[in-house]
């Protein structure tokens, strides 16, 4: 048992071996930064990677001034430092002495090119973003099954707005197969009548979130029938799905809050509205009572038939005037008829017969007014006051009356 080691002794021995290695005491290495975090203690923590491998790295606070350029994920950097062991966890890491920007990593360059392409197509325009429904009937969630993010969203939706239906479409959310699986889950969600669709997961490294930068996934999601809420990563993490979504939030809790109204706030609003309505009704009732009190002492309310009698008298007077006007009109019309009758009688040819004259007519009962209207031996009729006389023309003589 003399060679039995504690964990601490084992890690210390490994650290001694690594620090004694001449190559590992000073290394220069090139790689791409990912998962960059500035800790509250002032240290920088990140992962340095290439296309085959990665290593954890740290820039301690006293050496931050040796970092010549601002650091961001995707930067390709040249680092000078050494390999050390973090005894608490038994992990080795690259401790940075100096670091300078070497260029942008291939993945970042590719991502920025795709981002610009989608932007040029107008997929990021604010004008295409839709409002999230205030009172959803059904909410769809695309997330990993049994994940804390899913549990958090479901819990908060049910707490805030329990009458809303929740549809879950499980999917991978990281890894090379995730984009294809996310598209499958999204396609399935489009068969449902959803008010809002949430696509979300908990935080993670930039590699963990890379599936949400997939072009095929982005182009599928822009066709969503329902407004889309993206809840991917943390506040500082942005993916292409965030840019095309109708609303972007940094946490699953935030997605649930954006997607639903708070039933407590609804009840409070309803109570306030009911109180206002009750107050308004009370004021209206008081106003009407006061108005009625003023009106009830008026003559009409004290003796309602007064108004009726006045109107009845007015009606009788109008009836009397109408009757008189009709009678005057009738007498005037009758007088005009008599005048016309006398005029017609005076002008009537039969009135001439009463004075001893006769009217000559031919066989067609046309009046003969000239000797030219008859021929010799033609039969004519003489119309007198009490009958007719048949005559034959024996002779005709035309005279000029001067």
Do residues 142 and 220 lie in contact, with contact meaning Cβ atoms separated by under 8 Å? no
Do residues 367 and 352 lie in contact, with contact meaning Cβ atoms separated by under 8 Å? no
Burial of 54 (0-12, 13-18, 19+ CB in 10 A): middle
Query: What pLDDT is stored for residue 233 in this prediction?
Result: 67
Query: What pLDDT is stored for residue 111 in this prediction?
Result: 83
Q: Helix 252-259 crosses helix 148-160 at what angle (to 10 degrees)? A: 30
Show the tokens assigned to 61: 């606070």
Query: What pLDDT is stored for residue 259 in this prediction?
Result: 94
Q: Is 123 helix (H, G, I), strand (E, B) or coil?
A: coil
CA distance 282 to 270: 18
Closest by Cα among 382, 330, 337, 392 to 360: 382
Show the tokens assigned to 333: 């019309």
Query: What pLDDT is stored for residue 257 in this prediction?
Result: 93
Show the tokens assigned to 301: 């309310």
CA distance 217 to 156: 27
E strand or H helix at 191:
none
CA distance to 267, 269, 271, per residue, from 275 (Å): 12, 10, 6
User: Which runs of consecutive H residues, i.e. helices, occur in 85-214?
Assistant: 106-120, 148-160, 178-189
Q: Is 32 helix (H, G, I), strand (E, B) or coil?
A: strand
For the entire predicted model, the pTM comes to 0.53
Show the tokens assigned to 162: 């329990």
Burial of 44 (0-12, 13-18, 19+ CB in 10 A): buried
CA distance 282 to 294: 19
- Reading the chain (402 residues) residue by residue, the pLDDT tens digits are 567 889 998 889 888 888 888 888 889 998 988 888 888 888 999 999 988 899 999 999 888 887 877 788 888 888 889 999 999 999 999 999 988 877 666 677 788 888 899 999 999 999 999 999 999 999 999 999 989 999 999 999 999 999 999 999 999 998 889 999 999 999 999 999 999 999 998 877 777 788 999 999 999 999 999 999 999 866 566 889 999 999 999 889 999 999 999 888 888 888 899 989 999 999 999 988 888 877 777 766 667 766 677 778 888 889 999 988 888 888 888 888 888 888 877 766 677 777 777 888 888 888 887 888 888 888 888 888 788 888 888 888 888 765
């Amino acid at each position: 048992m003399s060679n039995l080691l504690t964990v601490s002794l084992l890690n210390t021995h490994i650290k001694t071996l690594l620090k004694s290695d001449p190559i590992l005491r000073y290394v220069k290495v090139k790689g791409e930064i990912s998962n960059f975090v500035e800790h509250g203690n002032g240290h920088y923590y990140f992962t340095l990677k290439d296309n085959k491998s990665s290593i954890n790295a740290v820039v301690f606070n006293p050496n931050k001034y040796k970092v010549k350029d601002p650091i961001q994920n995707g930067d390709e950097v040249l680092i000078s430092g050494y390999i050390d062991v973090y005894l608490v966890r038994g992990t080795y890491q690259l401790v940075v002495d100096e670091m300078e920007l070497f260029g942008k990593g291939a993945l970042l360059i590719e991502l920025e090119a795709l981002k610009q392409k989608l932007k040029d197509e107008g997929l990021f325009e604010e004008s295409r973003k839709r409002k999230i429904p205030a009172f959803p009937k059904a909410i769809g969630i695309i997330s990993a099954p049994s994940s804390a993010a899913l549990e958090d969203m479901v819990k908060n939706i049910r707490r805030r707005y329990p009458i809303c239906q929740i549809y879950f479409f499980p999917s991978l959310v990281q890894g090379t197969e995730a984009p294809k699986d996310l598209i499958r889950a999204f396609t399935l969600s489009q068969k449902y009548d959803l008010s809002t669709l949430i696509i979300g997961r908990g935080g993670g490294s930039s590699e963990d979130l890379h599936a949400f930068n997939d072009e095929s996934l982005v182009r599928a999601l822009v066709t969503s029938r329902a407004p889309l809420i993206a809840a991917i990563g943390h506040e500082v993490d942005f993916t292409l799905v965030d840019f095309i979504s109708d609303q972007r939030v940094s946490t699953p809790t935030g997605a649930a809050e954006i997607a639903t109204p708070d039933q407590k706030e609804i009840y409070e609003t309803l109570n306030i509205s009911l109180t206002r309505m009750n107050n308004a009704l009370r004021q209206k009732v008081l106003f009407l009572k006061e108005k009625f009190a003023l009106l009830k002492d008026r003559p009409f309310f004290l003796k309602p038939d007064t108004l009726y009698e006045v109107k009845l008298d007015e009606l009788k007077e109008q009836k009397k005037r109408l009757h008189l006007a009709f009678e005057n009109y009738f007498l005037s019309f009758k007088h005009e008829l008599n005048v016309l009758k006398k005029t017609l009688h005076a002008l009537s040819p039969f009135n001439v017969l009463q004075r001893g004259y006769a009217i000559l007519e031919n066989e067609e009962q046309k009046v003969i007014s000239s000797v030219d209207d008859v021929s010799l031996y033609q039969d004519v009729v003489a119309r007198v006051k009490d009958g007719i006389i048949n005559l034959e023309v024996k002779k005709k003589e035309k005279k000029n009356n001067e």
